[in-house]
Amino acid sequence: MSQRVVVLGGGPAGDVAALRGAQRGAQVTLVERAELGGTCLNWGCIPTKSLLATSDLLRRIRRAEHLGIAVGEVSVDFARMMARKEEPVLAMRSGVEAACKRRGVRVVRGQGVVEDGAVRVGDERVEYDQLILCVGTEPTGLRGIDMEHPRVVTSNGILRLETLPRRLVVVGGGVIGCEFASFFAPLGVAIDVVEVLPEILGGVDARVVREFRRLVEREGIRFHTGRRIESVDYREDGVTATLDDGAALDADLMLVSVGRTPQTAGIGLEAAGVRLTGGGHVEVDENLRTANPRIWGAGDCIGGLQLAHLGSAEGARAVENALGIGVRPMDRTVVPSCIYTHPEIAMVGLTPEAAQAAGYGVKVGQARFLGNGKALGEDEPEGLAQIYTEAGSGLILGATVMGVHAVEVIHEIGVAISDGLTADELGDIIHAHPTVSELVMDAADQAVGLAPYLS
């Protein structure tokens, strides 16, 4: 008899866990209280990247005359822009629903609560042999700020705007805050980003962050790093945020993007023997098993990097481990991280700081977009590709790429790290010309002092 698997949460981790479990012969029930696809599909990755693509198109249209195309006055239909972002969401959500139907995954709608070897959803008890927790996270509010005020929104609320703000204060200079700043800037919105840490985009190579700031500040985005909000004056038509240095920032809207909180409270996890961290994340071992041997965890709710693609990989790994199929630890050695600002930033492997902390001597190979024919042809000359290698062996440890198509280019470096390639070996691989991907070859060659135009 096939094992009964219940997956609690239908986001990127839960969807994949359910579908993979069904592919592996389990009897699978997927419990989701809202829409399949979770935050990524409905509130994160897909709608925000749709908006960013539209904003980037506007950037290109506005400089089209430089390319020999006269377009005249360009106007923005913000309402249509916001409505259009739902089209790919609906298409992909339908795809998830269809995949569940094809694989025989039973979908139960409603809030699931774990109790006595089952998940209760309303009046129904769904018993399990193995339970996969994929309950995700939700935007975190900020103490001292009235999160209920209509002029204060999270990353969820800002996706439901009906009118374009003239001035925006973004609290939090991480990935979410910088992506929304990058979206609104071309629309003519005056943007102030407040970050309590000394620099924005924590965890990104400091040299890349400095270059990124230089580029986006030209668009009028202002950064207030190492600053706290001391007080907020709320009005019907906006807010004024006063910083700890006395600066007063007036805005029509305040976006609070200071992190996300796991949705683990009040669903019976502790009573089921699942241990939670102080921050509410589900504790799992290297195989993604919780303290209860029949309960597993995957995705954002277990902490670490909160990335949809990592959650999907964890979901697949968790359900296969639960079913006893090729049981092995979750390998996070190669996980690309992508930031969809303009310019894009993509990373994989170790940063120079992390590599040095791990005891490596680090050598950096760098190639700039300004010397890349494809980037110049696309009128996108800003950016750089950096490959980090072990100084002695040349083994590739990590990379950061900033510039046009960076989020597509990064993957071959991930493969190189996974396969244990050196910079010399990666540089020997012939890359098509002209392509932006040539920058990877050039940076690898530069790391060993053999780039024809750079060394």
Task: Quote the pLDDT of residue 346.
Answer: 98
Task: Quote the pLDDT of residue 9.
Answer: 98
d(CA 316, CA 320): 6
Its pTM stands at 0.95
Name, in order, each residue with C-beta under 8 angstroms of 262's C-beta and a sequence gap of 6 or more: 135, 136, 137, 279, 280, 281, 282, 300, 301, 303
d(CA 267, CA 219): 45
Residue whose token pair is 């597993």: 296
- Count Cβ atoms below 10 Å from residue 137 Cβ, excluding itself: 21
Task: Quote the pLDDT of residue 455.
Answer: 54
d(CA 352, CA 233): 42
Name, in order, each residue with C-beta under 8 angstroms of 105's C-beta and a sequence gap of 6 or more: 18, 19, 21, 22, 28, 29, 30, 99
Tell me the two tokens of residue 444.
């690898």
d(CA 165, CA 150): 13
d(CA 276, CA 300): 13
Q: How far is CA 302 from CA 130, 306, 320, 455, in A?
A: 17, 9, 17, 44
- Complete domains list, the chain, with CATH: 4-138+261-322 (3.50.50.60), 152-258 (3.50.50.60), 343-447 (3.30.390.30)
Query: What's the average pLDDT block by block, 10 residues per block, for the chain (455 residues)?
Result: 94 98 98 95 95 96 93 93 96 97 98 96 97 97 96 96 97 98 97 98 95 95 97 97 98 97 97 97 98 98 96 98 97 96 97 95 97 96 97 97 98 98 97 97 95 78
- Torsion sign (Cα): 315, 319, 320, 322: positive
SS3 assignment for 78-128: HHHHHHHCHHHHHHHHHHHHHHHHHHCCEEEECCEEEECCEEEECCEEEEC
Q: How far is CA 152 from CA 136, 236, 245, 287, in A?
A: 23, 11, 22, 40
Q: Which of 427, 207, 443, 130 is nearest to 454 (CA)?
A: 443
Is 433 tagged catalytic? yes
Tell me the two tokens of residue 68.
């020999």
Tell me the two tokens of residue 392.
């002695």
Specify whether the CB–CB gap between 364 and 448 falls below 8 A: no
Q: Which of 45, 42, 77, 89 is nearest to 162 (CA)?
A: 77
d(CA 222, CA 194): 9
Q: Residue 110's Cα: distance from chain center in Å? A: 26
Tell me the two tokens of residue 354.
């992390």
